[in-house]
Amino acid sequence: MSALSERPDNPVVGIPLPHESAALHVTGEALYTDDLVGRIAGALHAWPVQAPHAHAMVTALRTAPAYRVPGVVRVLTAEDVPGINDAGVKHDEPLFPTEVMFHGHAVCWVLGETQEAARLGAAAVEVDYEPLPSLVTVQEAIAAESFQGTPRSLSRGDAATALESAAHVFEGEFEFAGQEHFYLETHVSLALVDESGQVLVHSSTQHPSETQEIVGHVLGVPSHEVTVQCLRMGGAFGGKEMQPHGYAAIAALGATLTGRPVRLRLNRTQDITMSGKRHGFHSTWRAGFDDEGHIVALEATLTADGGWSLDLSEPVLARALCHIDNAYWVPNIRVDGRVARTNKTSQTAFRGFGGPQGMLVMEDLLGRCAPLLGIDPLELRRRNFYQQNQTTPYGQPVRQADRLAACWDQVASSGEVARRRAEIADFNRRHPHTKRGLAMTPVKFGISFNLTAFNQAGALVHVYKDGSVLINHGGTEMGQGLHTKMLQVAATALGLPLSRVRLAPTRTDKVPNTSATAASSGADLNGAAIKNACEQIRERLAQVAGGVLGISPNDVRIEDGVVRGLSPASGEIGWNELVNTAYHQRVQLWAAGFYRTEGLHWDPNVMQGEPFKYFANGVAAAEVEVDGFTGAYTLRRVDIVHDVGDSLSPLIDIGQIEGGFVQGAGWLTLEDLRWDTSDGPNRGRLATQAASTYKLPSFSEMPDDFRVTLLEKAHEEGAVYGSKAVGEPPLMLAFSVREALREAAAAFGPAGTSVVLGCPATPEAVYWALDKARTPRAPEPSDAGTEPAMAGER
Q: Is the peptide bond before 760 cis (omega within 30 degrees of 0)?
A: yes
Please state whether beta strands 506-507 and 501-503 pair in parallel, antiparallel, or not at all (unpaired): unpaired
Write the DSSP string, 720-772.
GGGB---SSGGGGGGHHHHHHHHHHHHTTS-TT------SS--HHHHHHHHHH
Range 276-294 burial, b when 16+ CB lie within 10 A, else e: bbbbbbbbbbbbbbeeebb
Cβ neighbours for 672, distance < 8 A, ≥ 6 positions apart: 177, 688, 694, 695, 760, 762
368: which strand partners?
none
Does residue 740 contact residue 733 with C-beta atoms inside 8 Å? Answer: no
Distance of CA 790 to the CA centre of its chain: 36
Q: Smallest Cα–Cα separation from 199: which of 212, 217, 184?
A: 212
244 Cβ contact list (under 8 Å, min separation 6): 187, 189, 203, 204, 205, 206, 207, 211
Catalytic choice (93, 625, 728, 743): 728
Coil vs helix vs strand at 100:
strand
Measure the CA–CA gap between 57 and 59, rounded to whole angstroms: 6
Determine the Cα–Cα distance for residues 311 and 77; give it in Å rounded to an integer: 22
Known catalytic residue at 29: no
Cα–Cα distance, 385 to 404 (Å, whole number) = 8
Burial of 781: CB neighbours in 10 Å, binned 0-12, 13-18, 19+: middle
**CB–CB of 274/309 below 8 Å?**
no
Q: Whose CA is closest to 384, among 278, 288, 465?
A: 288
Among 368, 404, 411, CA closest to 386: 404
Is the CB of residue 238 less than 8 Å from the CB of residue 351?
A: yes
Catalytic residues: 728
